[in-house]
């Protein structure tokens, strides 16, 4: 690996992600037409971004931290959870040191926005990572996530980032955060939402306006989207090139949701993309996605593997 590599760390409510990437010249965009054996349509991701080129991932590592569980239980992140988080951050730092890559930024999101002991957590993480993370607002998270997708897929889109504790939506001009995520829903409703879900959605959307966001191309970002794509395509391991730009319909989403819901907890955890606790929260995330797509009045959507960790690097350019 060469010294033009850059790194960021995204510390979320459910998972932590280390990204190592580099800016490269953007390839030409093309599409693969549908065929009889493949009902999906994928596109090679890219739009030229000027002199710096396009940001291409070289290495991504995901570790489950579930910081949000403590927030919903007590409002604080426990000492045990902080210790687990620091072990993850130490592993990330050692990986970066071994590869000679500079860590440019680290950000923390919804769990830390709500934590009563923010400074305690920040101090501990700084010692492990050798960089003090920044707690970003929901609006900033939405803007950075949109930027990351826009650089690959262009303007005129809407991005949905379903995390563990919150959901960020942006059309570039405006963006906002809804304090609903897959892990938060799981803590409130269990692995499969019941009759209470309809009331929950009605109450949640009371204060949310989707003005200027409806009937536009939608890109889904985050662990829910990645897991959905892997199950849909029966991928045995994560491959961002196979997932990026994947188009799905509402009926595709319904079919995957039904398939996962009909499996036992044990079998669900064996599906690729649903390891390390993702199987607990995935169905909640898919229910929530369906509700958001209905509000946005779209019949199809695309998956993107971009996200906050990429946006943090564009922010530094």
Q: Write out pLDDT tens, residues 86-107.
A: 999 999 999 999 999 999 999 9
Q: What are phi and psi of 294, to 5 degrees?
A: -65, -40
Cα 150 from Cα 314, distance rounded (Å): 11
The pLDDT, as a whole number, for residue 273 is: 83
List C-alpha distances in Å: 297 to 57, 150, 175, 217, 292: 32, 21, 17, 10, 9
Q: According to the model, what pLDDT value does residue 28 have?
A: 43
Count of CB atoms within 10 A of residue 29's CB? Answer: 15
Residues in CB range of 228: below 8 A, 6 or more apart: 220, 248, 253, 256, 273, 282, 285, 286, 289, 303
For residues 95 and 145, what is the distance between their CA atoms, to the nearest angstrom?
A: 25
The pLDDT value given to residue 317: 56
How many beta carbons lie within 10 A of that of residue 250, not counting itself?
15
* Closest-CA residue to 1 (of 57, 83, 80): 57
**Helical axes 250-261 vs 223-233, angle rounded to 10°:** 90
Q: pLDDT tens, position by position, for the chain (317 residues)?
A: 446 899 999 999 989 999 999 998 765 444 443 333 344 454 444 443 444 678 999 999 999 998 988 998 899 999 999 999 999 999 999 999 999 999 999 999 999 999 999 999 999 999 999 999 999 999 999 999 999 999 999 999 999 999 989 999 999 999 999 999 998 899 999 999 999 999 999 999 998 999 999 999 999 999 999 999 999 999 989 999 999 999 999 999 999 999 999 999 999 999 988 876 789 999 999 999 999 999 999 999 999 999 999 999 986 55
Pairing of strands 6-11, 102-108: parallel
The pLDDT, as a whole number, for residue 47 is 46
Per DSSP, what are the bridge partners of residue 55?
23
The single residue listed with the structure tokens 């090139």 is 241
Give residue 25's pLDDT.
Answer: 77
Q: Name every residue whose Cβ is closer than 8 Å to that of residue 106 and which is 6 or more positions away in sequence.
A: 8, 9, 10, 11, 125, 129, 131, 132, 133, 134
Where do the domains of the chain lie, and which CATH numbers do they carry? 6-136 (3.30.420.40), 138-308 (3.30.420.150)
Which pLDDT score, from 0 to 100, does residue 73 have?
87
Which pair of tokens denotes residue 59?
A: 């290495």
DSSP string, the chain: --TT-EEEEEE-SSEEEEEEEEEEPPPPP-BPPPBTTB----B------STT-EEEEEEEEEEE--HHHHHHHHSS--HHHHHHHHHHHHHHHHHHHHHT-EEEEEEE-HHHHH-TTHHHHHHHHHHHHSS--EEPPHHHHHHHHHHHHHHHH-SS-EEEEE-SS-EEEE-SS-EEEES--HHHHHHHH-SS--THHHHHHHHHGGG---TTTTTS-EEEESHHHHHHHHHHHT-SS--HHHHTT-EEEHHHHHHHHHHHHTS-HHHHTTSTT-TTTHHHHHHHHHHHHHHHHHHHT-SEEEE----HHHHHHHHT-
């Amino acid at each position: 690996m060469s010294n033009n590599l850059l790194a960021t760390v995204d510390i979320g409510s459910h998972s932590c992600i280390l990204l190592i990437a580099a800016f490269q010249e953007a390839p030409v965009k093309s599409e693969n037409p549908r065929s009889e054996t493949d009902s999906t349509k994928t596109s090679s991701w890219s739009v030229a971004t000027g002199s710096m080129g396009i940001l291409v991932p070289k290495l991504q590592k995901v570790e489950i931290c579930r910081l949000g569980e403590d927030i919903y239980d007590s409002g604080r992140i426990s000492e045990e959870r902080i210790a687990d988080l620091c072990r993850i951050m130490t592993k990330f730092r050692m990986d970066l040191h071994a590869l000679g890559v500079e860590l440019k930024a680290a950000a923390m999101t919804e769990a830390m926005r709500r934590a009563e002991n923010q400074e305690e957590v920040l101090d501990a993480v700084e010692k492990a990572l050798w960089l003090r993370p920044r707690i970003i607002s929901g609006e900033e998270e939405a803007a950075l996530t949109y930027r990351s997708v826009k650089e690959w897929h262009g303007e005129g889109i809407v991005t949905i980032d379903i995390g563990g504790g919150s959901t960020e939506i942006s059309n570039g001009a405006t963006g906002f955060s809804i304090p609903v995520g897959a892990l938060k829903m799981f803590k409130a409703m269990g692995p499969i939402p019941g009759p209470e879900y309809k009331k929950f959605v009605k109450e949640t959307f009371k204060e949310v306006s989707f003005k200027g966001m409806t009937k536009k191309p939608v890109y889904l970002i985050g662990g829910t989207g990645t897991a959905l794509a892997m199950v849909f395509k029966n991928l045995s391991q994560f491959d961002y090139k196979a997932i990026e730009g994947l188009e799905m319909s509402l009926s595709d989403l319904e079919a995957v949701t039904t398939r996962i819901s009909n499996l036992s907890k044990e079998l669900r955890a064996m599906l690729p993309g649903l390891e390390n606790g993702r199987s607990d929260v995935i169905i909640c995330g898919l229910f929530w996605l369906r509700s958001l797509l209905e509000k946005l009045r779209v019949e199809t959507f695309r998956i993107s593997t971009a996200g906050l960790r990429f946006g943090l690097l564009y922010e530094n350019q």
